[in-house]
Structure 1
Amino acid sequence: MSEVVYITTEPSDRIQVKGITQTPDLIHPQLIESVDAIKGRQFRVSGPIPKGACLLIDSPYAIIPVVDEPAHNDNLICSNPACNRQAPRHIRTPCPNACIPDVTWCDSTCRDADSLRHGFECAWLKRYAGTIRSKWSEYDFGMLWVIVRLLAARHCQLHEVGVAESTGHWKPGWSGIESLCGSEETWPHDKVRSWSVLVKKYLRSSPALPHEMTADRVLHLICQEEANSFGLYPRETGHFPVPNPPVDRGEQFAAAVYPTAAMANHSCLPNIIHKADDKGRMVFTASRDIYPGEECCISYFDLTQYSDLTSRREHLRKSFRFVYLKETYYIALYHNTTYD
């Protein structure tokens, strides 16, 4: 029998960016965390939830844009983590050091408010972005940039906020990142070896990247990030039954790591739809009535792209390394939900 841990809402220790007010996260009072002996942490509800109810709004601890030709793409998001809104190219403000075109802000106010966080990543981006993209891959660059932004958020939290981490069950901030599933043992050895090489080449603590963490800890962080990242799309993921005619979720524009939303497990019969709002916050909404004790699940992929059970099982096996046990129950050995 699963152990159920009841959770109370706690104030978040979000990155405080000068001049910017961030909206607090929302956690439905009936949403609880439970621990399953096989699947690990999961969401359940302690009372009835009506269709359409908002269960969770979770701000990203790190987010990166994922767009082609960023200098000319209107879907590029503001780099200020308190904003994350799309920054049309005719009004955006670029990095004064011209690190990479993927970094931009809505205006000078957002840029100035983000100076501490971007100062952590700027030299690293200018030095390594082109090399990683040309010698490795766009995917590897995106993965490493998410890690750098996780470290940048931690840097801001430690050096600017000065607020003690929460000791409750609902873990925000860096404590939430440290609680994410994923380790070297859950990934193929060749993949872990490749990541280890990337860490040694590009993510060691240095004046250009002063995180003061060991290479082994950064490698572990990659294993966690790769098992928990979300892709951000313009439309919802997880409508079930699939509408007729089907409407896909659109083209990905960002990837992010959410300390709380990452607890959600996958189901091919999800009862939660998810979509990022215009601030990059992940929003979970009940797609049907949910009864007390039920697990709240999302779909890790676009159900309109995989319409039959066979194709879904194969996609889960190949892309997410799931083991199929019975009709609606899967175990994730390891998975990758990021910028694909």
Structure 2
Amino acid sequence: MPQDTINVNLTHQALDIKHINYYQPLLVYKCSKIKVNASTPKVKILNLNINSFTKQIDALEKEGSNDQDAFDKEKAYLKKAIQAFFSAGEQGLRSVKLLIYKEGTESKEIKNQLQENRYTFVVLINTYKDNTDGDDGLTVYKDDYTHFKEDKHFFVFATKESEIKELFKDNTNSKTKIIVIHSKKEEHLHLRFISKYLHEASIFHSTNPYGLKFSGMNPITDSGEITKLRKANINFYSLLNETGLDGVMAFKEGVTLEGTAIDELFTYHYIKYELTFELIRVWNVNNRQNSKLSALQLDGKKDNAYTTAIECKLKSFIDKGILVSYSDL
């Protein structure tokens, strides 16, 4: 095959690009006392839904014979986290997969799940700690992130900090698709956010997360803290009008750690994969002819099956309100 041929797995059903989970996230929890599978991969996977998640978490077993009290508290904490995810009811997602692991190296299974199920968003739940006002997810997962990091996916972290102190404080790791959300104690704002945002995006993809509203949240009103959060590109919950004149609370700023609007980057991601799928589809229909990309006539002088397919797909994006217009191919 030519070196510049499309490189894609066309036989493994689990990797079929048609089954990308744009609007279903993968939740990840690094546990302390919860028992996981004894055999590799040493993880526990739960397929949760809004009606049965309580029973499923109650059924989790303890690792070892000691620390029953700590185990009970951890289960209660995890239950509240999932409850926060489902708190929007009909206005949020109603089912989700949760992956629980303990040992750092076992976090490699996260990457396997991403390859098999093609999740677009991965949301990391902070490990339970007693007597704290929350934690910094960038610290909790800093040593494990290297096992599952992948630039094609969005990773959502929660932090109690007003600045970036770990993992992404330098340029070692890409910030492009990293979303950090300020959340204290058991608010789990990042879980509330992803559930409501992806539910709305599944209805109309070009949903703007800025301004989303959540119940049971305490807004940040300190101007100094808000300034720090904005400077660090950490999302937070505050008054829509920060002078406090209207009293309306809202999610801000709706950006990645790099400062790009989440909905804009998510839309580019969606368009890229949908167009890739369309090209592969045409390639298969044409018995994989003209697979050598450099041989294609993409200069606009003459249409071919590929350019026509792309143009039809772009037109459908305009009809759906995802694109406003596009320039010549």
TM-score (norm 1): 0.31
Higher relative contact order (CA 8 A, sep 6+): 1
Q: Who wins on radius of gyration, i.e. which is larger?
A: 2
When normalised by structure 2's length, the TM-score is 0.32
Higher strand share: 1
Higher helix share: 2
